Amino acid sequence: RKEVEQDPGPFNVPEGATVAFNCTYSNSASQSFFWYRQDCRKEPKLLMSVYSSGNEDGRFTAQLNRASQYISLLIRDSKLSDSATYLCVVNAGANNLFFGTGTRLTVIP
């Protein structure tokens, strides 16, 4: 079983739509969680950390569900510029950082 699993998509949504991605992790001892964004042929960039209480940054909301071992990313009012691959990253401690394969989002005009 993979440490981190994501639906690869693609998710094709119209501008202005709300879209949500989930990411499941296998290690219940995982300590910290992150979402990264990766544009085509570019490097990953940290989008946001995921806190136990959930956190919001503008149109982006990240949540953690420890009981079911998943994290989520919600994007409201999608923009064309949101088109990218979103990587889920889980820190299982002791430098065990696991990257998901990513979920591809395309926002359509």
- The site for another protein (CB under 8 A) is made up of 4, 8, 32-34, 41-46, 49, 87, 89, 91, 93-102
Residue type, 44: P
Residue closer to another protein (CB basis): 11 or 78: 11
Q: Give min distance, CB of 89 to another protein, in A.
A: 6
Residue closer to another protein (CB basis): 81 or 95: 95
Task: Kindly compute the dihedral angle of the four CA atoms of residues 78, 86, 43, 34, in this order, to the nearest 10 degrees.
Answer: 110
Kindly give, in sequence order, each residue whose CB lies less than 8 Å from that of residue 64, ignoring residues fewer than 6 positions away: 33, 50, 51, 52, 54, 71
Residue closer to another protein (CB basis): 78 or 86: 86
